[in-house]
Amino acid sequence: MQKRSQTTREALVRAAVELIANGRFADTGLVNICKTAGVSRGALYHHFLSIAELLAEVHTQARDRVDELAEHSLVEARADAPARFSVALGKALAEEQLVRAGLQLAADGTDNPPWLQDEVLVRVRDQVLAVGADELDRQVLADLAVVVTAGLVSLGYTDTAWWSPEHAERIWGVLLPLFTRA
């Protein structure tokens, strides 16, 4: 019985992820989630107190995945760390519905700021600020890293080519000399 319960819970999370990643937040109503998951309303409320609680779980799972990407890419305070993270994030956005959906959610399961995307951009900025260079250069480079990463993320929602490693690497290839020089 517990296995079936866990399977139902996972189906609900997957359904919410699919609806957000491939549509829009407004599509994540009770009826659509239950229909996509193939479960009853009662099953949803057995596992989650509300839709917001379900979406908060999506945010948590997406944050965990983004944390994995960040730990791998930002592990060392190297000048190319923001570029490596930006490329990895774009690839995850292109390939993983969980990341695509989760970046659009707040920790409380709403679509109100701050979203996971905002948390990610703060992390990129903090990474650049931690690397050498004088204060003014670090501030400018941190802002530049945020703008590039945010731009690639946002543009990819309308044209997924922006999430391709080739796109990000080409853009970062032009910018990296600024980061390594500083």
**pLDDT tens-digit readout, 85-128:** 999 999 999 999 999 999 999 999 999 999 999 999 999 998 88
- In this predicted structure, the answer to whether residue 1 has a pLDDT above a threshold of 60 is no
Domain positions in the chain are: 2-181
Of 26, 52, 51, which Cα lies nearest the Cα of 37? Answer: 51
Other CB atoms within 10 Å distance of the CB of residue 103: 25
Is domain 2-181 classified as CATH 1.10.10.10? no
pLDDT band, residue 138 (cuts 50/70/90): confident
Does residue 26 have a pLDDT over 90?
A: no
CB 141 within 8 A of CB 181: no
CA 49, 60, 105: angle at the middle one, nearest 5? 85
Q: Does the reported pTM lie above 0.75? A: yes
pLDDT, tens digit, 9 for 90 and up, residues 40-81: 999 999 999 999 999 999 999 999 999 999 999 887 767 889
